[in-house]
Amino acid sequence: MHATLIPDELQFAINLMTGCATITRNVQQKHINAQDKADHSPVTIADYAVQAYVAQAILQKYPGDAMVGEEASSLLKQDENLLNEVTEQVKALLPESNPDFVSSWIDHGQGQPKGRYWVLDPVDGTKGFLRRMQYATALALVEDGKVILGVLGCPNLSFAGQTGVMAYAYHGQGAWWQTYNSQTEAQPMRVSEIKDLSQFRILRSFEDSHTDSTRIDSFTRQAGVTVDPVRMDSQAKSFLLAGGQAELSMRLLAPERADYREFIWDQAPGYRVVLEAGGTITDTDGKQLDFSTGRRLINNRGIFATNGWIHEEALSVLQQS
């Protein structure tokens, strides 16, 4: 996929990432201070502002497309200060913004996940964002249940000697990465060629709340893994897997949340990037991910993503763990 051949929708999504990063960086600068780490309001401001910004762009460029996002404006309308702060952030990029516009843009993200629709996770990795570590703005386009494109904007991620990078992929056209400042040419992404399970670098969250960490430890022992895990929040993990910096990422259902099903915005963007880079993603039962079931992956349990070489072997070790 040479730069001149980038499909319109993908170029549109790539272009949006710079504005999204401007918002998230501004919010971090203005609202996160050392005393305040437990306060979640900065990430709330960033979530709403990014969703409003992306939604208005989709409305303008692709008015017939639905959008499925995490946020709705109902809570915002009960908190005038929060709404005004979100509006200020959007206004920095779109001077004509006002609280009514911003609320209606956010609610465009409450669209129905059918036909052709965009999927957005405005700030994926809340804790990473608050710690000024890793988070991602993740955007995908889904058509008739198929993830057509995925973009992961990772403003704090360092990769190949560059900090502030994004990954993007289009169905059948490979995965690529570039810096936000575009001073470097887009480069193709490829998964690693490590085929020895004991050498797998496993991507793990800092937060264990979403997964079964005991079972991951058990898997690591069963597999004889000798390499330290890579700890990171957010779909930035998919970036590293696609870029050959790790071999395995899994979301295992915590025993107390055995009925949990993934939201599509937590998976669709990274899914397309990893697949196009040569990786494999299934659920923990080895089933293909089914994106045709609404806002959640109701036909799938957990997530198992590898560099693809020995996916089945790794999965069978998991099933014995």
Over the chain (321 residues), the average pLDDT of each successive run of 10 is: 77 96 94 59 92 98 96 90 95 97 96 95 92 94 97 96 96 96 87 96 80 86 92 93 97 88 96 98 97 96 96 94 83
> What is the rounded CA–CA span in Å between residue 269 and residue 205?
18
**Residue 89: per-residue pLDDT:** 96
**Residue 269: per-residue pLDDT:** 97
Q: Is 259 a catalytic residue?
A: no
- The answer to whether residues 115 and 34 belong to one domain is yes
Q: Is 124 a catalytic residue?
A: no
Domain boundary among 159, 188, 217: 188
Specify the number of domains making up the chain: 2
- The answer to whether residues 243 and 214 belong to one domain is yes
Instruction: Give me the catalytic one of 22, 44, 126, 306.
Output: 126
Instruction: Give me the catalytic one of 24, 47, 121, 282.
Output: 47
Domain boundary among 153, 188, 223: 188
**Residue 66: per-residue pLDDT:** 97
- The answer to whether residues 116 and 229 belong to one domain is no
Residue 246 Cα to chain centre, angstroms: 17
Task: Please report, for the domain that includes residue 295, its CATH number.
Answer: 3.40.190.80
- The answer to whether residues 218 and 142 belong to one domain is no
- The answer to whether residues 91 and 14 belong to one domain is yes
> What is the rounded CA–CA span in Å between residue 117 and residue 123?
19
**Residue 32: per-residue pLDDT:** 77
What domain range is 19 assigned to? 3-188
- The answer to whether residues 117 and 202 belong to one domain is no
β pairing state of 146-159 and 162-170:
antiparallel
Residue 221 Cα to chain centre, angstroms: 29
